[in-house]
Chains A and B, each alone.
Chain A
Amino acid sequence: MTSTTVTPERSGFSLSEYIVCLNGIVWREALRFLHQRERFVSALVRPLVWLFIFAAGFRQVLGISIIPPYETYILYEVYIAPGLMAMIQLFNGMQSSLSMVYDREMGNMRTLLVSPLPRGYLLFCKLLAGTAVSLLQVYAFLVIAWFWDIAPPTIGYLTVLPALVLSGLMLGALGMLISASIKQLENFAGVMNFVIFPMFFASSALYPLWRVQEGSPMLYYICQCNPFTHAVELIRFALYGRMNWVSLAVVGGCTVVFMIGAILAYDPSRGLVRRGPGGGEA
Chain B
Amino acid sequence: MTATDAHIASQLSPDAGPGTAAAVQPALSIGNVSHSYGPRRALIDVSFTVQSASFTALLGLNGAGKSTLFSLVTRLFGIQNGQIKIFGHDVSRTPGEALRLMGVVFQPRTLDLDLSLTQNLLYHAALHGISRREARLRSAEVLGRIGLADRAASKVRDLSGGQMRRLEIARALLHRPRLLLLDEATVGLDVKARADILDHVRQLVTEQGIGVLWATHLFDEIMPNDDLVVLHQGRMLAHGPMSRVIADAGAQDVNTAFMRLTGTATLAGRPPS
Q: Are B20 and A6 in contact (CB under 8 A)?
A: yes
A190 at the interface (CB under 8 A from B): no
Expressed in whole angstroms, the minimum distance between the Cβ of A52 and any Cβ of chain B is 32
A107 at the interface (CB under 8 A from B): yes
Q: Which of B199-233 contact A (CB under 8 A)?
A: 205-209
Interface-forming stretch among B9-17, B144-152, B252-260, B263-271?
A: B9-17
Interface centre among A10, A24, A267, A268 (most CB of B within 10 A): A24
Interface centre among A115, A118, A278 (most CB of B within 10 A): A115
Q: Are B96 and A111 in contact (CB under 8 A)?
A: no
- List of B residues within 8 angstroms of A114 by Cβ: 74-76, 99, 104
Over the window 65-85 of chain B, the binary record of Cβ atoms lying under 8 Å from chain A Cβ atoms (1 yes, 0 no) is: 001100100111111000000
- List of B residues within 8 angstroms of A32 by Cβ: 112, 114-115
Over the window 25-46 of chain A, the binary record of Cβ atoms lying under 8 Å from chain B Cβ atoms (1 yes, 0 no) is: 1011001100100000000000
Interface-forming stretch among B121-129, B190-198, B239-247?
A: B121-129
- List of B residues within 8 angstroms of A31 by Cβ: 115, 119
Interface residue total, chain B, C-beta cutoff 8 A: 63
Expressed in whole angstroms, the minimum distance between the Cβ of B91 and any Cβ of chain A is 10
* A268 contact from B75, B110, B115, B209, Cβ within 8 A: B75
- List of B residues within 8 angstroms of A21 by Cβ: 126-129
Over the window 241-282 of chain A, the binary record of Cβ atoms lying under 8 Å from chain B Cβ atoms (1 yes, 0 no) is: 000000000000000000000000001111100111111001
Q: Are B77 and A111 in contact (CB under 8 A)?
A: no
Can you report 29 A-B residue pairs in the complex whose CB atoms are below 8 A from each other? A2-B4, A2-B209, A4-B4, A4-B7, A4-B209, A5-B208, A6-B11, A8-B17, A8-B20, A9-B19, A9-B22, A11-B94, A16-B131, A18-B129, A20-B131, A23-B132, A24-B127, A27-B122, A28-B115, A31-B119, A108-B112, A110-B106, A110-B110, A113-B76, A114-B76, A116-B95, A117-B127, A117-B129, A277-B68
Q: Which residues on B are within 8 Å of A, measured CB to CB? A: 3-4, 7-8, 11-12, 16-17, 19-20, 22-23, 37-38, 42, 52-53, 67-68, 71, 74-79, 87, 92, 94-101, 104, 106, 108-112, 114-115, 119, 122-132, 176, 205-209
